[in-house]
Every structure is written in structure tokens, then in C-alpha cells.
Amino acid sequence: MEPALPHRMTRLARKLQFSLNGVIIAIPFYWLLIFFLVPFVIIFKISVAESLIASPPFSPLFDIAHNGALSVHLVFDNYAYLWEDSLYIKTYVNSIRISTISTVLCLLLGYPIAYAIVRSAPTTRFVLLMLIILPFWTSFLLRIYAWMGLLADQGTINNILIYLGLINRPIRLMYSEFAVHIGIVYSYLPFMILPLYANMEKLDHTIHEAAADLGARPFTTFLTVTLPLTIPGITAGSLLVFIPATGEFVIPDLLGGGNVLMIGRVLYNEFNANHDWPVASAVAIVLLLVLVIPMMLYQHIQSKETNG
């Protein structure tokens, strides 16, 4: 008899296990490959084409001549154009500036809120968390329209201020950077609070007591203990707010109008108003690089720090 039968069976089981692990990893891997990488490649392809009045409105990448020779058609004019026309650089800078300010505002508002939720009684904590998540159950677009109603010249806020006699005539709230900040902070605050909450919840509260016991005043405790230990939450929350806010289209379009230049609106205009798909694609690719390169640098530095 073959004594190694059970052994062989475990080997088979291990093999099966291995392939099962492979399948589990493969599903999200191919999902990302298909639904992220493929569109990205298409956008990149369009960005190196020439604008045409045709359908589709850009030149093909590969061309087969009458003699059968294959020619590859690559044009980097669109990228050069973004650099030459100051509008684009100005818009990128403006987008980053606006989303930076909004991210900082979200952090300043979200940090104490997350801290208060973590420190509240378990039953209250659940209610507070639900209140943070509740707005997601209504359409994002609808909530921005609601803000238009609140901020308009004849809107709720102005009417209340006039009724209270604090102002004589409506102050201009809509179609300003102020309105855009309100829109971004309002929409993205939960994305700041939730990672901060998850981070703070894991902290052992007794370390705050230990700091106080060792002579640290509350503010010193915050600076030396709480803040360093919540940096992962601050980073995650800030990225979750900053990245989508930079490319935001709906908020600057509806609340900022023509007064606030953000890259999302420029991109939309290039596609829809100008029908210049190649330039629009180049705008999208540059935006992606602007957002991804600092993140990769940050990750690189962080992994160096943890290993070093």
C-alpha cells in the first residue's frame, strides 16, 4: 500500500487552497484592471491625438496607409497647449488652493467632531455616527441644490438676516468662492470624520490619563500624545477630501458659477462646449499626475520612515 496517501491529499488541499487564494485576489485585481486601467489608457490615447471635426472627434492612434504601412500617430501638442495657455495653469493652481483650504476647514471642523463622538456614551455615539452618515441617503446633487436655496439672494439665510435686522439688503453669498467652500466642506466632511473616528476609536483612552498624571496639561497632552497618534486618520481623511475636491465639478458649477475657476469645470467645458476631446483628456491626465505624484512621494517617505 501507498502510505503517502494522506500526505498526497494534504498536498492537493494545499494546491486547491493556493488557487483559491489566487482567485480571491484575482477578482479585485482584474476588476481594477478593467474598470480603472482600461479607461485610463483610452483617455491617454485620446490625449495624444489631434482634434477633428468627425465622429469620434479625434485622430486615430494607428493608421494603415494605402501601401499597407502602419503609422503611429502621437501628438503631444495638447500638453504643450496646457502649458502655453496660462488659463490652465491658473485653474490647476486655483483648484488646488480651493481644495487645500476646504480640506483644512474640514480637518478643523471634523477633528473635534470625531473626538467628541469617540468620547461620547456608546448609545449617543451610534446616534451621532448615524447623523454623520444620514446625508448620504439623499442625492448629492439635491443637497447642493438645497444649498443654492439657502445661499441665494432671496434665500433662507439672507431672509433671516434681514428679518433680524442685521442687514438691510441681501449679501452676495452665491456664485463666490465662499459658496464653493461651503459646498465642499458640507459634502466632504463625513469623509474626514469617519477615518478620524476609526483612528481615534482604537486609541486607549488611559494614555491621555497617563499624560495628565505625568504632568501634561490638556493642550500639551493633545500636542504630544493625541495629535501624533491620529496622524494616520488625519492623512486618510485629508486625502479622501482633497483628491475628489480638486477635481470637483458639480459644486463649483452650481455654487461658484462663472466666478470660480476649477479644473473640473474646465474639463467639462472642453468636452461638451468645445468638443475638444484631446485637450480635455490631457487636462484629465495632468490632473491625475498632479494628484498621484505627491501621494506616491508621501507613501515613499512614510515607508522609509517605518523601515528606518
Partner 1 sequence: MSDTLDHSDRPWLDPDTAPFIKVDGITKKFGGFTAVDQVDLEIFRGELFSLLGASGCGKTTLLRILAGLETPTSGKVWIDGVDITQLPAYERPVNMMFQSYALFPHMNVAQNVAYGLKRDGIPKEEIVQRVGQMLTMVELSGFSKRKPHQLSGGERQRVALARALVKRPKVLLLDEPLAALDKRLREQTQFELMRIQEQLGVTFIVVTHDQEEAMTLSTRIAVMNEGRFIQIGPPTELYENPDNRFIASFIGSVNLFAGHTLTRNNDLYTIALNKHDLQCQIEHTQHLDNGSPIWVAVRPEKITLSTTPLAGEGLNQLMGTVDDIAYTGNLSTYRVKTQSGDIVEVTHPNQSRSRGSQLIADWDDTVYLHWTSADSVLLSE
- Contact positions vs partner 1 (CB under 8 A): 204, 206-207, 209-217, 220, 224-225, 228-229
The smaller minimum CB distance to partner 1, of residues 71 and 220, is found at 220
The smaller minimum CB distance to partner 1, of residues 51 and 199, is found at 199
- Backbone φ/ψ region at 275: left (φ over 0), alpha (ψ -120 to 50), beta: left
Beta bridge partners of 51: 58
The smaller minimum CB distance to partner 1, of residues 135 and 218, is found at 218
Cα–Cα distance measured from residue 83 to residue 69, given in angstroms and rounded to the nearest whole number: 34
The smaller minimum CB distance to partner 1, of residues 60 and 232, is found at 232
The smaller minimum CB distance to partner 1, of residues 2 and 213, is found at 213
Cα–Cα distance measured from residue 210 to residue 223, given in angstroms and rounded to the nearest whole number: 14
Cell numbers 467645458: residue: 269
Instruction: In angstroms, give the least distance from the CB of 240 to partner 1.
Output: 23
Cα–Cα distance measured from residue 89 to residue 83, given in angstroms and rounded to the nearest whole number: 7
Burial pattern 40-59, b for ≥16 Cβ within 10 A else e, equals eeebebbbbbebeeeeebbb
Q: What are the cell numbers at 290?
A: 498632479
The smaller minimum CB distance to partner 1, of residues 2 and 204, is found at 204
Please provide residue 71's backbone torsions phi and psi, each rounded to the nearest 5 degrees: -120, 140
Instruction: In angstroms, give the least distance from the CB of 233 to partner 1.
Output: 13
CB 43 within 8 A of CB 278: no
Instruction: In angstroms, give the least distance from the CB of 214 to partner 1.
Output: 3
Instruction: In angstroms, give the least distance from the CB of 122 to partner 1.
Output: 15
